[in-house]
């Protein structure tokens, strides 16, 4: 991770917390250093590409980032009916 970057992520669960998998996106922001670890945020901006450990990944170039209250449920779950 470069200076001015952080990862905005959540854990996805299919069955229980033991099978949780982290998902996230690299966020590029000149204010990255002011955001504390483990805070909940909403971020908007433009999608771009960057390279992390030699792998090309999506990046969000932040226009706006705001700390928010944590969700009552910290996990995201698959929608088995998506696209049906």
pLDDT tens across 19-71, in order?
899 999 999 999 999 999 999 999 999 999 999 899 999 999 999 999 999 99
Q: Which domain holds residue 9?
A: 5-68
Amino acid 44: pLDDT: 97
Q: How many domains does the chain have?
A: 1
State the pLDDT confidence band at 79, using cuts at 50, 70 and 90. confident
Does residue 46 form part of some domain?
yes
Does residue 18 form part of some domain?
yes
21, HSE (Cβ side, Cα atoms, 13 Å) = 6
Does residue 10 form part of some domain?
yes
CA-based nearest residue to 3, from 30, 23, 26, 21? 30
Does residue 80 form part of some domain?
no
Measured CA angle at 16 (ends 57, 35), to 5 deg: 45
Distance CA 80, CA 84 (A): 9
Does residue 73 form part of some domain?
no
């Amino acid at each position: 991770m470069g200076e001015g970057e952080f990862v905005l992520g959540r854990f996805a669960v299919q069955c229980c917390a033991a099978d949780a998998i982290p998902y996230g996106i690299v966020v590029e922001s000149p204010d990255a250093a002011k955001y504390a670890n483990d805070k909940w945020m909403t971020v908007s901006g433009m999608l771009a590409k960057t390279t992390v450990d030699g792998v090309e990944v999506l990046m969000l170039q932040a226009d706006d980032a705001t700390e928010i209250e944590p969700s009552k449920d910290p996990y995201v779950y698959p929608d088995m009916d998506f696209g049906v």
